[in-house]
Amino acid sequence: MNWEQLLSLRRQGDTGKRLRIEQDDTRLGFEVDYDRIIFSSAFRSLQDKTQVIPLSKTDFVHTRLTHSLEVSVVGRSIGRLVGKKIIEKHPHLKEVHGFQANDFGAIVAAASLAHDIGNPPFGHSGEKAIGEYFSIGKGQQYKEQLSAKEWQDLIDFEGNANGFSVLTASRPGVLGGNRLTYAVLGAFMKYPKESLPKKPTQNIAD
């Protein structure tokens, strides 16, 4: 793995490099990502989506927002532990580039915080409902207006792909979406694959 590339601090629209060794440790780029997600309307909207937990013993309503915060806390700790091992294995990441174990924690925390942003209400059932609306419901009327890949994206609606779009798509007054670092976007992606071709091989990546 090319860790220097995977740990990229660059953002959409950057024309120059962003080097870890030149970062201000009181306002690290990966931590800026966390803040941008926290203050985004897409993240705030998660408070309106209930996280269904069967037989939960909590005395409060568990929302996607509280779930995402909890996942982020756990992810940060795991990321730090993994980061420590990676830096032990590749000491030049610290000695030459200035990366710290906590950087890995910050990347995973930000990606974890955003992990539900593209998911529809009702989770996987919601994804299936959107897919069926287009494949066997009234949405069939749009098929001729779309490319094969666009159509496949709809009938196999996938919350992670939608989340990537929410985080990166330009909107009026917001060029490049949240402009998160490539490292955080890479961690967020989880399993990047286009909707077509569908299962071209038996490889798990397909």
Query: Tokens 């287009």 identify what position?
Result: 134
Domain contains 131: yes
What pLDDT, on a 0 to 100 scale, did the predictor assign at position 131? 96
Domain contains 200: no
Confidence of residue 53 (pLDDT cuts 50, 70, 90): low
pLDDT digits (tens, 9 = 90+) for 80-123: 999 999 999 999 999 999 999 999 999 999 999 999 999 988 88
Averaged pLDDT of the chain:
91
β-partners of residue 63 are: 50
What pLDDT, on a 0 to 100 scale, did the predictor assign at position 144? 97
DSSP per position, 20-78: GGGS-GGG-HHHHHHHHHHTSHHHHGGGGSB---TT---SS--BHHHHHHHHHHHHHHH
CATH number at residue 72: 1.10.3210.10
The number of folded domains in the chain is 2
**Whether the predicted pLDDT of 55 surpasses 70:** no
pTM metric for this prediction: 0.88
Residues 182 and 85 in one domain: yes
- As a dihedral over the C-alpha atoms of residue 135, residue 136, residue 138, residue 144, rounded to 10 degrees, the angle is 40
- Among 1, 3, 6, 45, CA closest to 181: 6
Residues 37 and 89 in one domain: yes
pLDDT digits (tens, 9 = 90+) for 180-193: 999 999 999 987 77
Residues 39 and 141 in one domain: no
Confidence of residue 49 (pLDDT cuts 50, 70, 90): confident
**What range defines the domain where residue 142 resides?**
122-156
pLDDT digits (tens, 9 = 90+) for 161-170: 999 999 999 8
